Structure 1
Amino acid sequence: MTTKIRVAVIGCGSISKHRHIPEYAGNPNVELVAFVDPVIERAEAFAQQHGGKAFADVDAMLAEIKPDAVSVNTPNYLHAPISVKAANAGAHVLVEKPMAVTDEEAAGMIEAAKANGVKLMVAHNQRFMPPHVKAKQILESGVLGMVLTFRTSFGHPGPEGWSVDGAGSWFFRKEEAIMGAMGDLGVHKSDLIRWLLDDEVAEIGAFVGTLHKEGTKIDDNANCVLRMESGIIGSLVASWTYYKGEDNSTILWCEKGVMKIGTHPDDQVIVELRDGTVEKYKVGAISTNDKQETSGVIDAFVNSIVTDTAPPVPGEEGRKSLKVILSAFESQDTGRFVRIQN
C-alpha cells in the first residue's frame, strides 16, 4: 500500500467544486486533507463531505497541515504569492490559469519550485481534452502536411453564470482578476495553439476591450492576430459575450486539407482532405461549463508526483502561454504589434 498524497485545495469556488475536488476525490492516490477559503463555510462544506480540515487562512493551513501538494484556485492576483508560499512550505503546486498576472511573478514561481525541489504544474486543461489530443496525433501523422493558417476561439456568456458569486464575482473586479476574458479563456487558446503546433508565438496584434459587461473595467472580448515562429499566421478570439452558447473551436488550414476541432456536436474532429476524403472522429467531448467532463489535469498532476516525473504542463509552459496574453494587452495599449521574446 503506497502512502497517499495529502492534498490541500486553496480556494473553494466553482473550479474546485466542479473539477479539482471531485477529481482528487476520485483518485486512489490522494487524500484530501484541507480546504481553504476566506468564506469559511465553503471550506467547511467540502471538509464535511470529503474529510480534512477547513481553514480561512492559507498560512495557518500550511503551518498546521503541511500538505504534500496543493491546488491554487484563487482569484488571479493571488496565484503567484500563494504558489510561492506553498512551494516554500515544501508542497507540490498545481495552479489554475493564468498562472500569474505578470511575467516576473511567473518567473518567481518557477524559481521557488526549483529552489524547494517541488513540482509546479499549470492547469491548462485544453491539452488533455480528447479532441485536442486526437488533433495533435493527426497533425503529427503528416496527412495534412504543413499547417498554414488557423483560427482558434473560446467564448461563453461570461463568469456570472459559472462563478459561485454570480455577477458579484471577483472575475469582474480589476484589482483581483487583473485580466478578464483573456486571462480566463484567451490563455487557454494561447497554450493550446502553442502545444498543437509545437511552435511559439513570435508576434501578436490585438484588440482587447470591454464591450458589454456593465460596471467593470475588465476585458470581456479580444481578437488577436498571431504569427508563429515558423511563419504560420492565425487568429485567437476570447469572449465573455457569446450569450447564445459556448464555442471552443479551432480550425487549421493546411497544405493538404483542413482540420476542424470542436465545430460539430457529435464529430469532434473532422478532417477534409483536398482529394475529397472526409474523416470524422467521435473521440469524446470538450468539457464545457454546462457539461463537465473529467479534465485530465488532476490525474496528470498526481501521476507526476507518484512517478516523480516532470508534470506535463510545467511552469515554464504556463509562463510562455501567459506571455502571449500579456503581449496582447501591450498591443492594445500601444496600438502596435508586439514581438514576444521566448
Structure 2
Amino acid sequence: MSKIKVAVIGCGSISKHRHIPEYATNSNVELVAFVDPIIERAEHYAQLHGGKAYSNYVDMLKAEKVDAVSVCTPNYLHAEISIAAANAGAHVLVEKPMATTAAESEAMIEAAKKNGVFLMVGHNQRLMPPHVKAKEILETGKLGKVLTFRTSFGHPGPEGWSVDGRESWFFRKEEALMGAMGDLGVHKSDLIRWLLADEVAQVAAFVGTLHKEGTDIDDNATCLLRMKSGATGSLVASWTYYKGQDNSTVLWCENGVMKIDTDPNDQVIVELRDGTVERYKVGQVATNEKQTSSGVIDEFISCLVNNQPPRISGEEGYNALKVILAAFESEATGKIINL
C-alpha cells in the first residue's frame, strides 16, 4: 500500500511533542510538508523528516497533493484551514478546541461531508490508558449508575509549554478566543461525555482571569454540569495550578466510587460498597512534562488505512465544544444555560 502523504500545519509545541514524532514513527505515513509563518520552524522539520517547508497553508495546498493534514495552529485558524484542506480533498485531524464558535464547527463538519473526507478532533484524553480502563470498568455495570462526578484539568499555564513562552498566541484573545477552557476544559467535557456515554444538558459556570497578568484570556473556570441522565458534577479548568497539576476524575456511583489519576502508583482505583478495593496500574496519563504517545496520530492513520470513520469525529468535537461555549454564556449572563 502506498504511504499516506501528510502535511503538518503549524509547527509549535503540539506538533513538536506529539504530531510530528508520532507521524514519523508510523510506518504508513510519509511527511511531505510542514507549514509555519515562521518559516525556519517549518524548515527545521523538513530537514529532519524530508518534505517541503511552506510559510502558509494556501501555497502548500496548491503545490502538494496531500492525503491528510494536521491542523496545529492558533484556535482562530482551525476552521478556516480545516475547511480549505477538506475542499482540497484532504482528511483533517484538527487540534482541540476544534473551532471557536458553533457556526465554525458546523461549517467544518459540512465541508468534510461534502468532500467525502474524514474530520477528527485531537481529544487525546479518551485514548489515555487510565481513561480506557475506566470506561471498560463502567461498561461492566459493576458500579451501577454514575450519580455525581468531578473532573479537573489544571497546570501552571501554556507559558511553560508553548514554543513562544509568555509571548504565546495562547494569551492573545484575538487568536485564542478562549484560554484554559479551550485548552483544558474542552478535554474534560469530551472525557466526561464519553465516559458516561451521556450528553451535557445544563451548564452553570464561573469563568475568568484570576492571575495571568496583561491578558484578558480566561485562566480559570469552575463549571457545574447536569447530564441528560440527571447525573451532576463539576468540571474545573485552570492555568494557575502552579504546584500540583491535576488531571483527575472521580465518579461516585450507586455501588461505589471510581478514582482516576488520583494516586501516583495506581491510575484507576475502584472502591465498592461491599468493601472490595480494586487497583489498576495501566500506565500514566500524559502530562506536559512527561510526554507519552498520545495515540491520536495512530488512531487517525488507522482510520485512513481501514477507511473507518473516526470515533473522535467532528460531531464529537462539536458536542464537547458546545459545553465550553455554554460555560462562557453562563459567565456572561449569570444564568444556567440549557444545551
TM-score range, shorter chain: over 0.9
Q: Could you tell me how far apart the structure 2 residues matched to 1:320 and 1:314 are?
A: 10
Deviation at 1:248, TM superposition (A): 0.2
- The SS at the match of 1:234 is strand
* Residue matched to 1:301: 300
Q: Is 2:4 the partner of 1:5? A: yes
- The SS at the match of 1:34 is strand
Give me the identity figure in percent.
75
Q: Could you tell me how far apart the structure 2 residues matched to 1:231 and 1:129 are?
A: 27
Q: Could you tell me how far apart the structure 2 residues matched to 1:208 and 1:23 are?
A: 34
- The SS at the match of 2:247 is strand
- The SS at the match of 1:202 is strand
Q: Which amino acid is the alignment partner of residue 93 of structure 1?
A: V
Q: Is 2:186 the partner of 1:174? A: no
Deviation at 1:312, TM superposition (A): 1.5
Q: Could you tell me how far apart the structure 2 residues matched to 1:173 and 1:66 are?
A: 33
* Residue matched to 1:213: 212
Q: Could you tell me how far apart the structure 1 residues matched to 2:158 and 2:137 are?
A: 33
* Residue matched to 2:142: 143
* Residue matched to 2:13: 14
Q: Could you tell me how far apart the structure 2 residues matched to 1:290 and 1:265 are?
A: 15
Q: Which runs of 5+ in 2 are unaligned?
A: none
Count of residues in Structure 1 that have an aligned counterpart in Structure 2:
339
Q: Which amino acid is the alignment partner of residue 21 of structure 2?
A: P
Q: Is 2:29 the partner of 1:30? A: yes
Q: Which amino acid is the alignment partner of residue 233 of structure 1?
A: T
Q: Could you tell me how far apart the structure 1 residues matched to 2:238 and 2:163 are?
A: 20
Q: Which amino acid is the alignment partner of residue 38 of structure 1?
A: P
Q: Which amino acid is the alignment partner of residue 137 of structure 2?
A: I
Question: Any idea what the Cα deviations from partners look like across 1:52-73, whole Å, max 9, x if unmatched?
Answer: 0000010000010121000000
Q: Which amino acid is the alignment partner of residue 212 of structure 1?
A: H
Question: Any idea what the Cα deviations from partners look like across 1:204-258, whole Å, max 9, x if unmatched?
Answer: 0000000000000000000000000000000000000000032100000001100
Q: Could you tell me how far apart the structure 2 residues matched to 1:10 and 1:329 are?
A: 28
Q: Could you tell me how far apart the structure 2 residues matched to 1:115 and 1:239 are?
A: 37
* Residue matched to 2:283: 284
* Residue matched to 2:43: 44
Q: Could you tell me how far apart the structure 2 residues matched to 1:245 and 1:32 are?
A: 37
* Residue matched to 1:273: 272
* Residue matched to 2:234: 235
Q: Is 2:121 the partner of 1:130? A: no
Q: Which amino acid is the alignment partner of residue 8 of structure 1?
A: A
Q: Could you tell me how far apart the structure 2 residues matched to 1:300 and 1:338 are?
A: 34
Question: Any idea what the Cα deviations from partners look like across 1:270-321, whole Å, max 9, x if unmatched?
Answer: 0001111110000000000000010011001001000001111010000000
Q: Which amino acid is the alignment partner of residue 97 of structure 1?
A: K
Deviation at 1:88, TM superposition (A): 0.3
Q: Could you tell me how far apart the structure 2 residues matched to 1:272 and 1:8 are?
A: 46
Q: Could you tell me how far apart the structure 1 residues matched to 2:247 and 2:317 are?
A: 20
- The SS at the match of 1:304 is helix
TM-score where L is the length of structure 1: 0.99
Q: Could you tell me how far apart the structure 1 residues matched to 2:281 and 2:13 are?
A: 28
- The SS at the match of 1:248 is coil
- The SS at the match of 1:59 is helix
Q: Which amino acid is the alignment partner of residue 183 of structure 2?
A: D
Q: Could you tell me how far apart the structure 1 residues matched to 2:165 and 2:61 are?
A: 29
Structure 1 ranges of 4+ moved more than 3 A: none
Q: Could you tell me how far apart the structure 2 residues matched to 1:138 and 1:57 are?
A: 45
| Alpha-carbon RMSD | 0.4
* Residue matched to 1:165: 164
Q: Could you tell me how far apart the structure 2 residues matched to 1:274 and 1:230 are?
A: 22
